[in-house]
Structure 1
Amino acid sequence: MLPNTKNPSKRKRRGDGASPASATFDRRVFPILLSAAARTTRRTQHGSSSAATAVRLLRRVLSSSPTSISPLPDSLVALLPLLLASSSASVAALSCEVLGAAALQSMEASEMLASDACIANGLAQALGSGSQRVAEGACNAIMDLSASSVGRDHLAGSAILPNILYLFSQVESVSGVIDSRSTECSKSDSKANKALYLIVDTVILMVNSCHVDSLHNLKQDLIRKVLPLLYKIWKKGGTLGSSTDCIYSKNQLQSPEYDISEAIFKLSMNIAYAVHLEPDKVRRSIFGQSVSDYENFLLNCWEKSTYLLTRKQNNLDDSVFTSLLNEFDPKTPDAIIQALLNGIVSCPAIASDELDISSFLHEVHGSLGATAKYRQDIRVVRTRDQCDQTSGGCRMEEHFFDDGMTFLDADAFVEKCQDAFKNGFSVALRGMEFRSEKIAAIASDVADLFGQPSVGANIYFSPPSSQGLARHYDDHCVLVWQLLGCKKWMVWPNAKLILPRLYEPFESLDDLVDANGGKMEVLLQGDIMYVPRGFVHEAHTDVDVGEFEVNSTANCSLHLTLAIEVEPPFEWEGFTHISLHCWMEKHWGSQPVKSKAEERTSLFALLLHVSIRVLSENDATFRKACMVAAKLPSSSSYTTTHLKALRSNQRSTFDEIVKKIDKSCSFKEALRCIEQAVKERNDEPFQWMGWLRHLPQHGGADNRVDYCNILGALEELLGAVGCNLEQAIDVSNN
C-alpha cells in the first residue's frame, strides 16, 4: 500500500464523524487549553505562560472562519466552564467571546450551549470575577445565547440571575449616570456608561425571562438594593436611550421602558414592604373601637343604607388617618396636586377573572408603566349647568382633557392640572392602591375585612364652590374618607332595590331619583361615609365653612374612596355556582355510567347554572356580597358571640337561596335563552361564566364543560336534550 493511500473504513472509525478541523483542534489545542484551565487558581510563572498561550489560541479560534466554530468542538465545549472561570481576565473574556460567536452562528448551537448547566455556571462566575472586561464579555455572551426563548429560559433559571443582579447593585457608575442632568460626557464616561447600559439590559432580559415562581428564591436584601436603581433608570429611560454621547446604537440603553417596568413589577411582587398595619387597625379606624360597631354595620347597613361615622362622635382610631395625611403637603393646592401627580404612570385594568400573574403580564405587555392615560388613570372634570336646548338645562360633566390623551411632558401636565383646578375642575386619580404603599396597605386590609379579592382606591381633590363628578351611582360599594377640608353630599336610596352588578351597563337616572327623597350629609376632616352600590349621589364643596370647625384648607376638599368591588365569584350567586360545581364533582364524578342521560350530567349541570342566573336577574339576594372568606376581627369576644351571629346570618341566607332555586328555577326559560344564543352565535349573555373555568373538573374529557368555548358547550347541551326535554329536566331535577 502506498504511503498516501487512505483506508475509508479506518478513517471513519478514527474520526467518529468529526470534522478534520475538530480533530486538529483536539490534538493540538486541547492539551494547551486544558493546561491553562487547570491553573485558574494559581498565578505561577508557568501558569502565566499557559494563559498567554491560551489567549493566542482563543484569538486564533475567533479569527477563524465561521465554519470552524460552528459547531464548537466537543472538547472545547467541555473546557469552556473552566475557561470562563479563569483567573486570567484575558482568558475568561476571550472565552466569553468564543461562546457568543458560536451562539450567533446558528440557533441550534445557541440553544445547545445555553442548555449546558456547566456553561451557565461558568458565565455566572465570570459575572462575579471583579473584572469589568470579563463582566462585559459575560453579558454579551448571555445576550447572544438568549436569542431564542429556549436559551432565555435555561439561562434565567441558573445562577446567572442573582449574580447579574449583584453585579448591577455594585456598579459605581450607576448613580453618576442616573443623577447626571447632562446628556454629554467624556470618552471615559461614555465607556463607563456603555458598560452600565449593557449590564442593565442583561438584568432586564434575565428578570423578564425568569418564571414568576423562581423569583421567590432571590434574596430580599439584594432586590431592595436593585429596585431603587432600576426605578431611577426607568424614570430616565428616554434620556438613556438617546444620549448625545452615543455614537453607536450599542452605546445606548436598548431595553424599552415597558420592559424595565415589567422587571420592576416582577421583582417587587415578593418584597415585604415596611408599610404594614396591625390586624384590626383599619377596622378600628373606620368603624370604631368596639367590635360590635362593625357587626352592626354588616347586619344593618351593608348593601342596604348609607352609614356616617364622624371622628369625634365615634372615638375612631387616628393612626391610619394620620399616616394618610402624611402622604400629602396640605399647605397649598398646587403642592397637593404636585404630590398627587408626580411621576404617575398608567395602571392597566386587571380582568375580573384574572388569576394568573403570567397571563396578566402577557396581556399588558408593552403598556406596563406607560404614560398615564386620560379617563383610564386620571380625570380632570367639573359639573355645571348647561343652558343649551339640547341638554334641557341639566347639570353636565365637562372634561379638561380629551379621552385617551397621554401626558409625555410631566411638568407641563402638572401645570395644566393646577390651572384647571383654579378654574373649578376637580382632579380625580384612580388606582391609588398601586401608587401609594400606605393606601395599598389600607385597601388590602379592607379587602380582607369584607372577604373580597381586592379593593380599589381613588382620590379626589376639588376646589372651592365646585362639583366634580355629575350625579351618578356606582356598581361597587364605596367608603368615602374625608382627608382635608369638607364636602357636602346628597345621597338617594336605591329605588329599584336590585344591586347593580360589576361592569353591567348603567341605567338612566330619570326614574331613580326623587328630588325630595335625598339625604344631605356634610363630611368634615376625618369623617367616613359608606355609600352602597346603586345609591345615586353627588358631592359639592359649596359648604358654608362658618358652620363647621375646619382647618386652613377648608375651601378645598381632598377625599379618598375605597371601592369594594364584589366580583362574580364573591356574590351569593357565585357561591351558589361553586357549591353546585363541588356537589357535581363529589356525587357524580365517581358514579358508574348507567344511561346516556347520566353521561351528560355535566351538561345538565350547565343548564342548572344558566337557570340560576335567570332566576338571579331580578332577585337582590343572589347579588349580595358573600363574605364567607372574610378575615374577621381577632378579638376573643368576637369569636364567642359576634362570629356566631354573622355565620348564622350567612347560613340562613344560603338556605334561603337554595329554597328559591328549588322552588322557582325554570329550565324551559333557561333552554330558550341558550337556544337563542346558539342560533345567533352570540356568547355575550354567557360571558359571566368565564370565571368557572378556574374551578377544577375531574373525570374524562367528555364529561367536562369547556368554559373557554361556551357556545360550543351550550350547543352540545341542546344536542343532548334533543326532543326529550322532559326527560332531561327530570334528570336535572334529580
Structure 2
Amino acid sequence: MRTRDPNDQTSRGCVTEEHFFDDGTVFTDEDAFIEKCKHAFKNGYSIALRGMEFRSEKVAAIASALADLFGQPSVGANIYFSPAGSQGLARHYDDHCVLVWQLLGSKKWTVWPNPKPLLPRLYEPFDPLDGNLDESSGRVEVLHEGDMMYIPRGYVHEARTDVSGSEVNDCSLHLTLAIEVEAPFEWEGFAHIALHCWAEKQQLRGSQSVEFEGKAGASLSAIVLHVAIRLLSDSEPVFRKACMVAAKAATSSSSCTSTTTHLEALRSSQRSTFDEILRKIDQSCSIKEALERIVSAVRERDDGAFQWMSWLRHLPQQGTAAGYIIDFCNVLGALEALVEAFDSDPGQALDGLTAFKSGFCRRVAYEDACEAFGTLLEMYRMARTQYMRGMLALHGAGAHVS
C-alpha cells in the first residue's frame, strides 16, 4: 500500500491510500509474485507482512511474552517495509494499542492525542477522522534502528520515510505489535464476570429475586444488570480500558525486588479501579433503561441486541435446582419471562432489580472475579496458542510457543 499525496489528508483520513494487490489476485508463480512486489516497492508502495506471529517462531515468542505482560489473550504482529520518501498507511487510528519497533533505517511518526473520552473497541466500525485536526498539535518522533514507541488505541498517527535532516533517506523496516483488548478483558468484561460469579453464588444459596421467582431466579435478574452495565459502558471511559488483573511481570533475577514492588502497585491499582467501577454501577446504572431496552428487543424479536454477551457462555453455570441454565447465545427466550413479570407489576420488578444491583455492588467478591477472569483468559490463550502452533508448522517455522 501507499499514500499517494500525504499532504492531502481528507476528513476520512484514508481515501488517498492505494493498494497494489487490490483485485484479490492469487499468484501460483512465486517468481512472478516477487517481481510484482519489487515493481510495487520501486513505485513507492510499502510491503506489509501481516500475522507475523503465525510465520516466525521468534516473533511468536515476543508476542506471547507481551500478552502475558499485559494480561491479555494475544498480541498481533505485522512487519512494514517502506521505500525511501514514502508513506504507506494513510493517517488513521487503531482499535488496539501498538508498540512500534524500528528494525532498519529511520521513520518519522506524527501522533495526535485522542480527543474523545471513549476508547475505540476492537472490531467496532471506525469513525471518520476529524477534518479539523490541528496539524500543530501532533507530536513528531523520529525512530531509528532499535527504537520503540507506544501508540495508545484511538490516537491518530501517520509515518513517513522522508526524515528531514537525515543525511540518507533510505528504506525503513519496522515491526508493529498490536495489543488487542477483546471484550471479556476490558473492565466492562471484568464487571460482567464479577456479576456472573456473584449471581451463581446466589443460585447455589437458593436465593431468588422476589420479582422473578421460579425457574431462573438470580440469573434472570443478572441479565438485566448485564444490560444495564453495557449501557453504562457507552458513556463511562473506565469500562473500556484494559483490565490487567492477570498481568505477569517479566522474569529477571537482577530486578526481583523492583518487579515485586511494581506488581504490588499494579494489583493495588486494579483493585481500586474495580472499586470505582462498582461505585459507578451502584450510582449510575439505570435498571429502568435496561428494562426498556429488553422489553423493546423482546417485542421486536431482536436477538442481535444481545449478541455482545454471547462470550458469557464460556463461564461455568451451576443452574438452578430445576436444572435451568441461561443460553447466552439466545437469551430472548429467557427474557420473555422477565417481560411478562415486568408487565404484570413494573413497580415491584424495578424495586427488586434495584435491590439486586445494590446487593451485587456491596457483596461481590473481587477474588472470585479474578479467578474466573484468569480461567477465561487461559481458555482464550489456549485456543490462540493452538492456532499459532498450527500456522507456524504450516509455514515451517516450528511450533515451540508456550
- TM superposition score category, shorter chain reference: 0.7 to 0.9
Find 1:557's aligned residue among 172, 192, 202.
172
| Whole-angstrom CA distance in 1 between matches of 2:98 and 2:123 | 15
Q: Which residue does the alignment assign to 1:51?
A: none
Kindly report the root-mean-square deviation, in angstroms, between the aligned alpha carbons of the 2 structures: 2.5
1:397 aligns with 2:17: yes
Tell me if structure 1 keeps the 8 A contact 2:118–2:236.
Answer: yes
1:581 aligns with 2:202: no
**Whole-Å separation in 1 of the counterparts to 2:116 and 2:132:** 7
Q: Could you tell me which residue of structure 2 aligns to residue 567 of structure 1?
A: 182
Give the whole-Å Cα distance in 2 for the aligned partners of 1:649 and 1:594. 33
CA positional deviation for 1:715: 3.3
Q: In the alignment, which residue of structure 2 is the partner of 1:494?
A: 114
**What is the rounded CA distance, in whole Å, between the counterparts of 2:93 and 2:13 in structure 1?**
21
Q: Does 1:610 align with 2:227?
A: yes
SS of the residue aligned with 2:265?
Answer: helix
In structure 1, C-alpha distance between the alignment counterparts of 2:13 and 2:308, rounded to whole Å: 39
2:212 to 588, 594, 597: 597
Aligned-partner Cα distance in 2 for 1:711–1:384: 50
Q: Which amino acid aligns with 1:499?
A: L
The 3 A distance-change label for structure 1 pair 510 and 442 is same
On the 8 A contact 2:12/2:128 being kept in 1, the answer is no
Contact 2:72 2:185 survives alignment (8 Å): yes
Between the aligned partners of 1:509 and 1:660, the Cα distance in structure 2 is 30
Q: 1:632 aligns with which of 246, 249, 266?
A: 249
- Relative to 1, partners in 2 of residues 1:528 and 1:490: Cα closer, same or farther, differing over 3 Å? same
CA deviation after TM superposition for structure 1 residue 641, in Å? 2.4
Q: Does 1:415 align with 2:35?
A: yes
| TM superposition shift of 1:601 | 2.0
Cα offset, 1:450, TM superposition: 0.2
Secondary structure of the corresponding residue to residue 418 of structure 1: helix
Counterpart residue identity of residue 243, structure 2: C
Instruction: Find the aligned partners of 1:512 and 1:603 in 2 and give their Cα distance.
Output: 47
Aligned positions of 1:670-709 closer than 5 A: 670-700=290-320, 703-709=324-330
Cα offsets for 1:310-336 (capped at 9, x unmatched): xxxxxxxxxxxxxxxxxxxxxxxxxxx
**Percentage identity across aligned positions?**
66
Which one-letter code corresponds to 2:343 in the other structure?
G
CA distance in 1, matches of 2:85, 2:318: 61
The letter for the 2-side match of 1:645 is A
Aligned pair partner of 1:643 in 245, 263, 266: 263
Trace 1:664-675 onto structure 2 (pairs within 5 A).
664-675=284-295
Q: Which amino acid aligns with 2:257?
A: S
Separation (CA, whole Å) in 2 of partners of 1:682 and 1:393: 34
The answer to which structure has the higher helix fraction is: 1
- Which residue of the partner structure matches residue 316 of structure 1? none
Q: Could you give the per-residue CA deviations for residues 560-608 of structure 1, whole angstroms, max 9, x where no partner exists?
A: 0000000111111111100001011113323166856233321110000
Report 1:260-271 matches (<5 A). none
Q: Deviations over 1:517-567 (max 9, x none)?
A: 1111100000000000000001111113636xx8xxx60010000000001
1:657 pairs, out of 253, 264, 277, with 277
How do 1:305-344 and structure 2 match up within 5 A?
Answer: none
- Report SS of the residue matched to 1:466: coil
2: CA distance between counterparts of 1:408 and 1:683?
Answer: 43
SS at match of 1:538: strand
1:428–1:663 CA distance, 2 compared to 1 (3 A): same
Distance 1:565 1:678, change over 3 A: same
2:336 to 715, 719, 729: 715
Tell me, in whole angstroms, the C-alpha distance in 2 between the residues paired with 1:664 and 1:512: 33
Report the 3-state secondary structure (helix = DSSP H, G, I; strand = E; otherwise coil) of the residue aligned with 1:561.
strand
Q: 2:53 aligns with which of 412, 416, 433?
A: 433
Q: Counterpart of 1:677 in 2: which secondary structure?
A: helix
1:415 to partner: Cα distance: 1.3
State the distance in 1 between where 2:75 and 2:308 align: 20
TM-score by length of 1: 0.45
The CA deviation at 1:716 is 3.7
Aligned to 1:368: none
CA distance, structure 2, for counterparts of residue 519 and residue 536 of structure 1: 11
User: CA 1:393–1:585 in 2, change beyond 3 Å: closer, same or farther?
Assistant: closer
Please state how far the C-alpha of 1:512 moved relative to its aligned partner.
7.2
List gaps (5 residues or longer) in structure 1: 1-380
More RCO (CA 8 Å, sep 6+): 2
Query: Given the superposition, is the C-alpha separation of residues 684 and 438 from structure 1 closer, same or farther in structure 2, using an over 3 Å criterion?
Result: same
AA partner of residue 616 (structure 1):
S
Q: Matches of residues 532-551 of structure 1 in structure 2 within 5 Å?
A: 532-544=152-164, 546=166
Q: TM-score, normalization: structure 2? A: 0.81
Name the CA shift for 1:574/1:683 in 2 (closer, same or farther; >3 Å). Answer: same
Q: For 2:332 and 2:78, how far apart are their aligned partners in 1?
A: 37
**Greater alpha carbon shift after TM alignment, 511-520 vs 590-599:** 590-599
State whether residues 102 and 174 of structure 2, in contact with CA within 8 Å, keep that contact through their aligned partners in structure 1. Answer: yes
Aligned-pair CA distance for 1:394: 8.7
In structure 1, what is the Cα distance between the partners aligned to 2:235 and 2:5? 35
Conserved in 1, the CA contact under 8 Å of 2:203 and 2:319?
A: no
Is the 2:200–2:219 Cα contact (8 Å) retained in structure 1?
no
Gap regions ≥5 residues in structure 2: 356-402
Aligned partner of 2:88 in structure 1 is 468
Amino acid at match of 2:122: L
Deviations 1:448-488 (A, max 9, x none): 00000110001101011011011100000000000000100
* Residues 385, 394 of structure 1: 8 Å contact kept: no
1:685: Cα distance to partner?
A: 3.5
Structure 2 letter corresponding to 1:705? I
Check whether the contact 2:13–2:128 (CA below 8 A) recurs between aligned residues: no
Q: Secondary structure at the match of 1:708?
A: coil
User: Residues of 1 paired with 2:209 and 2:303: CA distance?
Assistant: 32
Residue type of the alignment partner of 1:570 = F
- Residues paired across the two proteins, number: 348
